[in-house]
Amino acid sequence: MMIDHPLLGLRDAQEFTYLGDASLIDRPDWRSDTAQEEFHDYLYLRDNPAGEHRELWYHEAGDRSWLVVTRNMLTHEITQVELARDVARARGRSK
Amino acid sequence: MTEVNRLDGGQINRAKEVSFTFDGHRYKGYEGDTLASALLANGERLMGRSFKYHRPRGVLTAGSEEPNALVELRKGGRQEPNTRATVIELFDGLEAAPQNAWPSLRFDAMAVNDRFSNFLTAGFYYKTFMWPKAFWEKIYEPIIRKAAGLGSISFEEDPDLYDKGFLHCDLLIIGSGPSGLAAALTAGRSGARVILADEDFRMGGRLNSETLALGDQSGADWAAAAIAELADMPNVRLMSRTTIVGAFDHGTYGAVERVQDHVAVPQEGKPRQIFWRIYSRRALLCAGAMERPIAFADNDRPGVMLASAVRSYLNRWAAAPAQEIAIFTNNDDGHRTAADLIAKGVSVPAVIDVRADAPSVAGTELLAGAEVIGTSGRLGLSSVTVRLANGQTRKVNCGALAVSGGWNPNVHLTCHQRGRPQWDADLAAFVPGTDLPVGMSVAGAAMGQLSTAQALSSGACGAATALEAIGITASAIDLPEAEDAPISLKPFWHVSGGKSRAWVDLQNDVTVKDVKLAHQENFVSVEHLKRYTTLGMATDQGKTSNMLGLAVMAELTGKSIPETGTTIFRPPYTPVAMGTLAGRATGKHFHPTRKTPSHRWAEEQGAVFTEVGDWLRAQWFPKAGETHWRQSVDREVLQTRNSVGVCDVTTLGKIDVQGKDAAAFLNKMYANAFAKLPVGKVRYGLMLREDGIAYDDGTAARFAEDHFVVTTTTANAVLVYRNMEFARQCLFPDMDVQLISTTEAWAQFAVAGPNARKLLQKVVDPEFDLSNEGFPFMACGEVTVAGGCRARLFRISFSGELAYEIAVPTRYGDALVRRLMEAGEEFGVVPYGTEALGVMRIEKGHAAGNELNGTTSALNLGMGRMVSKKKDCIGNTLSEREGMNEEDALKLVGFRPVKSDETISAGAHLMNASGAVNAKVDQGYVTSAAYSPVLESSIGIGFLKNGDARKGEIIRAVNPLAGQEIQVEVVSAHFVDPEGERLRA
Amino acid sequence: MHSLKSITALAASSAQVDSFDGLTIQERADCAFASLAARRGEEAQCAAGAQALLGAELPAPGKGVLGEPYSCFWMGADQWMISAGYAAHETLDSEVKEAVGAAGSVTEQSDGWCRFDLEGARLGDVLERLCNVDLLAMQVGDVSRSRLEHMACFIWCLEPGQKVAIYAPRSSAGSLHHGLVEAAHSVL
């Protein structure tokens, strides 16, 4: 597989380490009243779509960027690759 | 043996004679021959015995699709089973042996199986060997294993080298027949980066095997000229002997190049094969087509061959399979064979054509509307029986029968990503569908463009179109005039009504009757058909048989062939040796070896090394006279505890953490708090997974307000760094924090023991105050050693002794350890290895990998109070889950055997003093155990239910695997200096 | 001057050279390295400080700049590796830190890495057996990080098609060197 790294262009997937669903970016707030349940869902519940999936890949043998890769689980077609840091900020994460 | 069937002409080098042996007999051939062509030229049609029934078999094809002529090539470590005689390039000294034949090819004792064939039909394993159940492993399986199976291996180590490599191109062209060459010329002349790969050792594909002219040249001459032109282009890489074995995602292809398979012994240091990963922007599949056989009674007799293979042997290799060759065909293509044979002076007794309206053939008799219903000949064909159009039978004497059932485009690579081929009714064959792998297109016969003219033009056009898509303009090239015959085929799959078995899959001994049986028992889906009958399995993956099996099944079910389905083709296209996939990554090159800065010095000391991840660490340092490792380890422990010891601890992961938010970031990473750690101090830290389970520990040393150096365990260095980057980029993207690994940059040594300070004072430059007040427990700072060499000093202790860790730039590590040993001589300093390190940490009750084992929480580890409730950190929310905070939770405690000479084993389970021993009443388990030379006893640490409250209790440590059960006393895990007075001294 | 004697990454007193027909593999033990990472919100100031030191702009992703005495290549987002001769710049990290001040995080990296320079007409033939870098597409200054002998290495193009520098973790220098030499043997 080839991943079109936003900074470096097409790179072999062998250089990357796969983590999983990009929803792992959405870590709940520990101060929430329902923090336990929210963390449980965050950690253990995953969608398993037969189609587009947004997932986290780490360019471990490269520039150490975490990427959000949008990949079709049926065809392996990759339609979008973003820096996870940008995605995280767009989803309201900060410090 | 003599070359009784060798003709004139061909593309063999008659100037270079080659001698080889097959089945113990010596033969001669020429450079450019294959093993199969040379054997045929020598009059040998019998090349092997079949898989199940041990029937005599000859060669069916002239290519990599060969199901029958499998041989064991070479001897000893280089012995290779299941190599196809049709693609083995002949070399001087080649030794080949037939498979599945004992005691000899001509007389095979197991051929008795053939007599019992009624018992050995499809599914016979499942039916016959069901009972009694216990017989399977001891009786049935060993017997079947001996009798069945393909070739054998020598069990010796393969002495050859294999390599891997990476290539990039704009256009990968797969196959160098007319379409591939036209494509390569088009693309090559455009300046694009082109790779042209072909599995054959001679490029040109069918152009080398046919007598058809291209313009005013022979096909072979035109191909040779095209290849010569391509060879001169710097932007074109010609890869013969290279099979594209798989089409992977996003334009990546796997290729096996057989660099030195065609020599007896590869050159020293050079690879025999290379596995290439090809990154292509576009790929054009020009893989051609394979002729398919027709099934009829006893169609497996040596001498029954595909018509195209007969033409290949005749035209390319100047070898006639026999003196008299009949033809059996359902299309005009088969007639070409007759013409070629006659032109070469080989007698053609008849052309048997199933079509009633077949055109006549000059120089031979045409039997139109006729079918072959039987064959005879003991170890090879001597005649065929023909049922004529009028129903009468006739015997035709011949030594070979050239069979043509039409052509199947080689769609295999188009299916590697689950593409489904489409049915083409005119060809009566599957052609590539529309769901091709991204970036791939198909040209020539592989696309169903079967004439030479079509192949040339579709290749040229295919290349130009593929390049246009990536912004490269290719001009049209002049193509020679060539044969452009229309399709003239009557679909015809098998002859019905014969008395004997008609073979569908020669490699797996599957007959028409087996397919019928599968149908009868309702295994009608092609996937079931395959698994029930083994049709299409093994080395050829049904290249010549799948279509036939499908057609027979379609006939039985009354469905059309496309309704019946196709099997999915998966990589590899042809078999690939495991060694080829491994490449150079074998033995100790399977992973890189990391060496510590003191490695050379430790070697000089005679250290014994152990692997810790990729690292090699000194395990212990034996001294003269020590005959058992325990003697060395006990000495190292005692001497360290009594005076001073030195250990290389460079392998611990080190991560440099900087930035205004560095402390806040570490607060998130560690369960305990770091924000208030003063500059110049070190703190122990525990890391949790998000689920609350502890996964790593280490220290963080604060060198400045905005600068920490964090250590991780050796094993988890990569994981911790990855998790920190995840937190930094994905969870807290606005924190001002920067990370970089510095594990390798510093050589770090632990100096431990009551004399550690005295020793270090001799090495650290005198302006630095190492007194207990000046540099107390858990202090850190930058110092210089040996007259100005920069260094970092940490007062931390894993052993429980007064201890320091000192780090210098790695290049000085070797010199530093020598200096430390020299300075410590007056104290009797010892180097200690990972064993003594382990003993001392168990004596001190420090958790390590055995305790941080992926199931234990901070509470289990006795560090529950460390987990800050006042801040957010990875894992703290879920560590508060009810189930992880039960009253009788496992707690880390120590154990001592009640009988001092007994030994506690790690992994032993803990049971109450009396009562049952089973999982239900399990009380916990021992994680680490060692002999403590200080206590002169075996000791252990581990997790015990409610362990804190059970000190003094006698329980049992049981190891049912070793039949061991001993009584142990529950004690504190801190066996040595529980108050920690030594490390603060 | 202190009295500790240095050894090379291959644990020798001098750098290793291996010559083949068409390729030379030269260990470089004379390089000092320091990594630089821009502090959040102070990227411009960091870049300005670095430019003053380097005499060139901090390179873009996948690029490097060669200079005297300082060279620099991009390692990751807002992170660079700066190098200089070891003899004259043993404390390169302090020099870089001085140049960027509080706008950058600087880390001593000299002994975190080993470097081998590969040079010769047959470089491409050997490199294609080692890693997936497309040498033909590389210009002077291009830097690619990729797996080579299972290690994440930086490959810096110093002369197109002719010369590259390979940086790998120092503790694995022996494995890397073995891999380079084996590949050269295999091809040449």
Q: Mind listing the domains of chain C with CATH numbers?
A: 17-29+112-187 (3.30.1360.120), 31-110 (3.30.70.1520)
Q: Identify how many contiguous H helices and E strands chain C contains and give both numbers.
A: 4, 11
> Are B627 and B609 in a shared domain?
yes
Digit-coded pLDDT (tens) for B197-214 = 999 999 999 999 999 999
One domain, residues B646 and B773: yes
Cα C110 to Cα C33: distance, rounded to the nearest angstrom = 4
Across the interface, do A61 and C132 touch by the CB < 8 Å criterion?
Answer: no
Q: Which sequence spans correspond to the domains of chain A?
A: 2-90
DSSP lists the bridge partners of residue B653 as B712
The domain A2-90: what is its CATH number?
3.30.2270.10
Phi first, then psi: give them for residue B180, nearest 5 degrees.
-65, -40
Within a 10 A sphere around the Cβ of B226, how many other Cβ atoms?
25
**What confidence category does residue B513 fall into, taking pLDDT thresholds of 50, 70 and 90?**
very high
Burial class (CB in 10 A: 0-12, 13-18, 19+), B633: buried
Q: How far is B551 from chain C (nearest CA, A)?
A: 44
Residues B282 and B426 in one domain: yes
Task: Give the chain C residue whose CA is nearest to the CA of B745.
Answer: C112
Give the per-residue pLDDT at B153.
83
Tell me how far CA of residue B70 lies from CA of B242, B273, B896, in angstroms: 20, 20, 65
Cα separation, B830 vs B645, whole angstroms: 5
Statement to judge: residues B120 and B241 lie in one domain: no
The verdict on B365 and B285 lying in the same domain is: no
Residue B325: pLDDT band with limits 50, 70, 90: very high
The average pLDDT across B354-377 equals: 95
C107, C110, C185 member nearest B740 (Cβ):
C107
What does the alpha-carbon distance between residue A3 and residue A83 come to, in Å, rounded to a whole number?
Answer: 12
Longest dimension (CA), chain A: 44
CB distance C132 to A10 below 8 Å: no
- Choosing from B355, B381, B405, the residue where a domain stops is B405
At B167, the amino acid letter reads L
Q: Cβ of B166 and C132 within 8 Å?
A: yes
Domain range for residue B716? 653-741
In three-state secondary structure terms, B173 is: strand
The tens digit of pLDDT for each residue in B465-480 reads 999 999 999 999 999 9
| C-beta of residue B775 within 8 angstroms of C-beta of residue B795 | yes
Give the pLDDT confidence score for residue C98 in this predicted structure: 97
Higher-confidence position of C26 and B150? C26
Q: Is the pLDDT of residue B696 over 60?
A: yes
Instruction: Give me the phi and psi of B703, to 5 degrees please.
Output: -95, -25
Residue of C nearest to B787 (CA): C2
> Residues of B with CB below 8 A from C167's CB?
none
Q: B591 vs C35: CB contact, 8 Å cut-off?
A: no
Q: Smallest Cβ distance to A63: which of C132, C145, C147?
A: C145
- Distance between A49 CA and the closest CA of chain C, angstroms: 31
In the predicted structure, residue B1 carries a pLDDT above the cut 60: no
- Which H helix or E strand runs over B799? none
- Domain CATH number, residue B505: 1.10.10.1100
3-state secondary structure of B227: helix
From residue B827, give the alpha-carbon distance in Å to each of B220, B631, B642, B755, C154: 85, 20, 10, 7, 45
d(CA B23, CA B94): 11
CB atoms within 10 A of CB C53: 19
DSSP letter string, B726-790: HIIIII-TTS--EEEE-TTTEEEEEEESTTHHHHHHTTB-TTS--STTTS-TTBEEEEEETTTEE
Separation in Å, CA of B757 to nearest CA in chain C = 20
Nearest to B808 among C4, C9, C133 (CB): C4
Element at B7 (helix H, strand E): none
- Same-domain pairing of B613 and B749: yes
Q: How far apart are CA B27 and CA B29, in angstroms?
A: 7
Query: Given pLDDT bands bounded at 50, 70 and 90, which one contains residue B2?
Result: confident
Chain B residue at shortest CA distance from C174: B593
> How wide is the angle at C-alpha B436 spanned by C-alphas B432 and B441, nearest 5°?
75
Find out whether the peptide bond into C69 is cis, omega within 30 degrees of 0.
yes
DSSP B893-953: EEEEESSTT----TTPEEE-SSS--SGGG--EEEEEEEEETTTTEEEEEEEEETGGGGTT-
Query: Which residue of B728, B729, B885 is the best one to mutate when testing the A interface, meaning the one whose CB has the most A CBs within 10 A?
Result: B729
pLDDT digits (tens, 9 = 90+) for B613-647: 999 999 999 999 999 999 999 999 999 999 999 99
Cα–Cα separations (whole angstroms), residue C84 to C9, C31, C81, C95: 17, 6, 10, 11
CB B241 within 8 A of CB B261: yes
Confirm whether B847 is domain-assigned.
Answer: no
Q: In the prediction, which pLDDT does B50 show?
A: 86
Contact between B872 and B668 under an 8 Å Cβ cutoff? The reply is yes
**Band (B142; pLDDT cuts 50, 70, 90):** low
Q: What's this model's pTM, rounded to 2 decimal places?
A: 0.94
pLDDT tops 70 at residue B873: yes
CATH code of the domain covering residue B967: 2.40.30.110
Written as tens digits, the pLDDT of chain C (188 aa) is 899 999 999 999 999 999 999 999 999 999 999 999 999 999 999 999 999 999 999 999 999 999 999 999 999 999 999 999 999 999 999 999 999 999 999 999 999 999 999 999 999 999 999 999 999 999 999 999 999 999 999 999 999 999 999 999 999 999 999 999 999 999 99
Residues 6+ apart with CB under 8 A from B334: B307, B327, B328, B351, B353, B402, B403, B404
Split at pLDDT 50, 70, 90, the class of B280 is very high
Per-chain mean pLDDT for chain B: 94
The three-state secondary structure class of B111 is helix
Dihedral (C-alpha) B656, B658, B662, B666: value to the nearest 10 degrees? -10
Whose tokens are 């529309």? That residue is: B434
Are β-strands B13-22 and B94-98 bridged in parallel, bridged antiparallel, or unpaired? parallel
CATH of the domain at B347: 3.50.50.60
Tens-digit pLDDT profile for residues B64-115: 999 999 999 999 999 999 999 999 999 999 999 998 776 677 777 667 677 6
Q: CA of A67, closest CA in chain C: separation in Å?
A: 12
Which range is least confidently modeled, B123-127, B629-633, B649-653? Answer: B123-127
Given B383, B405, B427, the domain boundary residue is: B405
Residue B88 in any domain: the answer is yes
Mean pLDDT of B862-877: 91
CA count, 13 A, side-chain hemisphere, B965: 12
Residues B23 and B128 in one domain: yes
**pLDDT surpasses 70 at B375:** yes
The residue behind tokens 């994680």 is B927
* Helical packing angle, C92-100 and C43-54, nearest 10°: 130
Residue type, B194: V
Nearest CA in chain A to B662: A95
- Who among C4, C111, C172 is closest to B815 (CB)? C4
B531 sits in which H/E element: helix B526-533
Q: Which contiguous run of DSSP H or E holds residue B817? A: helix B813-823
What's residue B527's pLDDT?
A: 87
The size of the A-C interface in CB pairs under 8 A is: 34
The reply to whether residue C77 touches residue A60, judged by beta carbons under 8 angstroms, is: no
Report the SS3 class of residue A71: strand
Same domain, B623 and B663: no
| Residue closest to B211 by CA, chosen among B383, B395, B338 | B338
Chain B neighbors of C128, CB-CB under 8 A: 165-167
Domains contained in chain B, number: 7
Task: Supply the pLDDT for residue C167.
Answer: 97
pLDDT at B428: 95
The answer to whether B493 and B555 have CB atoms below 8 angstroms apart is yes
β B645-648/B830-831 pair status: parallel
Residue C61: cis peptide before it, omega within 30 degrees of 0:
no
One domain, residues B101 and B35: yes
Predicted confidence (pLDDT) at residue B846 exceeds the cutoff of 70: yes
Whether C137 and chain A come into contact, CB under 8 Å, resolves to: no
> Can you give B118-161 as a three-state secondary structure string?
HHCCCCHHHHHCCCCCCHHHHHHHHHHHHHCCCCCCCCCCCCCE
